[in-house]
A and B are shown apart, each in its own frame.
Chain A
Amino acid sequence: MARVLLRVPNTAEKGSVIEIRALIQHVMETGYRPNAEGVLQPRDIIWRFTCRYDGEVVFSASFSPAIAANPFIAFTTIATQSGPISFTWEGDNGFAQTETRHISVT
């Protein structure tokens, strides 16, 4: 399991704009770099990030080898209802991780 830093408000007013931040520990090896022996290191990147709010996709992004290690994503959405906000990262070598936070909307 990769380490993750998430910032999601615990509570929000209905209809307000909330900022969400997600940082994940990942090497994002490009596949273009040789190692000390001169052999290319195989690509190992996260290629998809998806955020679902109460099951519905509110933000997603495709990553390329040009994205830096430990990718950080910040975006906004509108607080519509109380429910789970889930974050999924998918990548090479079967990398898949999902984290969930709960938001209360009043």
Chain B
Amino acid sequence: MKRIILALLACASVAGAEERRSGLLDMRPEAQAMQRDDSMNPGMLWVLDGEALWGRKPTPATQSCADCHGDAAVSMRDVAARYPAFDIARGAAIDLAGRIIQCRETRQGAAPLAREGQELLALTSFVAHQSRGSPIAPPDDAGMRAARAQGREIFMTRLGQLDLSCAQCHDDHAGQRLAGSIIPQGHPTGYPIYRLEWQGVGSLQRRLRGCMVGVRAEPFAYGSAEFMAIEAYLMGRARGMVLETPAIRP
């Protein structure tokens, strides 16, 4: 009997994994085609900008990204699939954009790049693009487990004047409609994304701020510990799903 229950549980968890779907599949076919064809995907413009920045020295006296890391297609392969990661120096979780800012400050000795600035978005897009097609593989150390637990708590907590949690829409009502739009499951598979509403590229944190303003909560600050925790939780929740950067979203 116990064995049957265990087998049933195993089936249930596998079925659960299969039901996860990328927001890509919730878009109309034209928008999907736009993402799938690099000659139509405007996110590729940011990837190309990032490639140019990768090889450029921020100041003449310092090194470019390429001087240390070499060919990004080799050195940055699958890196984005493992972020956010635990940063021992800071004793906290850090996302990919945060790591780029940190590398620029401490190793290149240049002025830090602004969050949501075009340069940081371009570099992050370029680095994340090197992991396109790879499964999300969050690190499993104690620090990241703690960050994911904190992120899960925020995800489940009701926020703002509308008193809604992330989970109420993206777990309980995913696939249904909010006004005319399909509620996606909220898997961060393609960040930084080119969002048609933004007419530009933006980060997961910008997207999260959009939802927080939507429920009339005060959004967390860019680069805050809360956002790192939510990112960590969402990447854990999307473990094994394939990265799509640069993704298109409506």
Contact = CB atoms under 8 A, between A and B. Distances in A.
B45 interface: yes
Interface stretch (A47-55, A57-65, A68-76, A79-87): A68-76
B221 interface: no
Given A21-B40, A72-B40, A3 B45 contact: yes
A7 B38 CA distance: 10
**Which 6 A/B pairs are nearest by Cβ-Cβ distance?**
A69-B199, A7-B39, A70-B42, A25-B45, A3-B45, A21-B39
Contacts of A68: 196, 199
A23 B45 contact: yes
Interface in B25-53: 38-40, 42, 44-45, 48-49
Most chain A CB inside 10 Å of its own CB: which residue of B44, B45, B199? B45
A5 interface: yes
Interface residues of A, number: 13
Interface of B: 38-40, 42, 44-45, 48-49, 196, 199-200
Given A5-B38, A6-B39, A21-B40, 16 more contacts: A3-B48, A3-B49, A5-B40, A5-B44, A5-B45, A21-B39, A23-B42, A23-B45, A28-B199, A68-B196, A68-B199, A69-B199, A70-B199, A70-B200, A72-B42, A74-B40
A3 B39 CA distance: 12
Interface string A1-17: 00101110000000000
A69 B200 contact: yes
| Chain B contact surface mostly | loop
Contacts of A6: 39
A74 B45 CA distance: 17
B39 A23 contact: yes
A4 to B, nearest CB: 8
Contacts of B39: 5-7, 21, 23
Contacts of B49: 3
Contacts of A72: 40, 42
Nearest to A5: B39
Nearest to B34: A72
A70 B49 CA distance: 14
B40 A70 contact: no
A69 B200 CA distance: 8
Contacts of B45: 3, 5, 23, 25, 70
Contacts of B38: 5
